Chain A
Amino acid sequence: MYKKKISYRLFIVLVIFWIMFTLDFSMWNLIAGVIVSYIISRLSFGIYYDIKGFKIKIPRFTVLIQYSLRLICEIYKASFFHIFRIIKKEYAPMIVEIELSTTDPLIITIIANSITLTPGTITIDSYDNKLLVLSIENDGEFGKSIERNIKDKFESILLRKDENIVSTDNYGPYSCSNGNNLN
């Protein structure tokens, strides 16, 4: 049986977030932050990290910034299209199955969240690397154009090969094998 180890990186990040949220540098507040961060870091053992290191691989910060900007652009673009749809009262909801190229649970979760954030599409379910997406517009190609859009706009940025992925693992790359996403 492993002895529970605390991840100091996670602990420091949590303390920084606590300070940023409260912006109170009094002693009692800092002590409370340290205690809460320690408890959360301790409870995250086995979920977020284990004895080998972190269970997930996080994309690089620059990639995340680039992805967020693209996502915000897509949200606004889709919102304007949705306003026209409301005015014209055009809707034909359909469910599309999208198969992603990746099997990384974190990337699948990010893409599923982005799909739901974009007006006009909602992720209903996911299994393996497939996503069930509800779209308000029938593209007339059995969802092919929706799949193409999602792959080009979202997946392509996150999946510019592995050089964009930072392994947070101290013992080399390690990907989560039992991560559940969305469910």
Chain B
Amino acid sequence: MIYKILLIISWIYVIFGVIGIFRFNNMYARLLTGSKIDTAASITIIAALIIRAGISQFSIKLLLILLFLMVTNPISNHVLARSAYLNGIEVKKEGKG
């Protein structure tokens, strides 16, 4: 039951993340919204899978994957934001919806 709730929460994160990417016009705002799916949704999905698997070898692997995901996930977003910033893309609101 709990894992189903967690999966539904992760869907909500993914759906709102996708909506946000289309709704925002600014490149940085889109990037920040995309990073939400990367982190919150993926952590919730793996947590749901751990609960579904119970105490087993599979959950230990999932826990380790979650650990590595939390360490390595931010790097892609950081690299994208950094390259955009260094290439001179302005950080300001670009027009209205």
Q: Do A and B bind each other?
A: yes
Question: Which residues of chain A have a CB within 8 Å of any CB of chain B?
Answer: 17, 20-21, 23, 68, 71-72, 75-76, 79, 82-83, 85-87, 89, 91-95, 112-113, 116-125, 132, 134, 136, 182
* Set of chain B residues within 8 Å of A75, measured between Cβ atoms: 39-40, 43
Besides the known contacts A82-B33, A117-B73, A121-B32, 12 further A-B residue pairs in the complex with CB atoms under 8 A apart = A86-B19, A86-B20, A86-B24, A89-B97, A93-B92, A117-B74, A119-B35, A119-B36, A119-B39, A124-B85, A136-B29, A136-B32
A122 touches B81 (CB 8 A): yes
Known contacts A116-B35, A122-B77; A93 and B43 CB within 8 A of each other: no
A-B pairs, top 4 by smallest CB distance, nearest first, are A116-B74, A119-B36, A86-B20, A79-B40
Known contacts A117-B70, A136-B32; A89 and B81 CB within 8 A of each other: no
The chain A residue with its CB closest to the CB of B83 is A124
A122 touches B35 (CB 8 A): yes
List the count of A-B residue pairs having beta carbons below 8 Å apart: 103
Please report the C-alpha to C-alpha distance between residue A85 and residue B29 in the assembled complex, in whole angstroms: 11
Chain A nearest Cβ from B89, distance in angstroms = 11
A124 touches B92 (CB 8 A): no
| Interface membership of chain B positions 74-91, coded 1 if the CB is closer than 8 angstroms to chain A and 0 otherwise | 100110011001000001
The chain A residue with its CB closest to the CB of B25 is A91
Chain B nearest Cβ from A33, distance in angstroms = 15
B82 touches A124 (CB 8 A): yes
B78 touches A120 (CB 8 A): no
User: Which of B13, B26, B36, B43 has the most A CB atoms < 10 Å from its CB?
Assistant: B36
Please report the C-alpha to C-alpha distance between residue A124 and residue B91 in the assembled complex, in whole angstroms: 12
The chain A residue with its CB closest to the CB of B27 is A93
The 11 sampled A-B contact pairs (Cβ below 8 Å) are A20-B64, A23-B57, A82-B32, A83-B12, A86-B19, A86-B24, A91-B24, A91-B26, A93-B91, A117-B73, A119-B32
B29 touches A93 (CB 8 A): yes
Q: Which of B53-70 contact A (CB under 8 A)?
A: 57, 60-61, 64, 70
The chain B residue with its CB closest to the CB of A68 is B70
Residue B11 CB within 8 A of the other chain: no
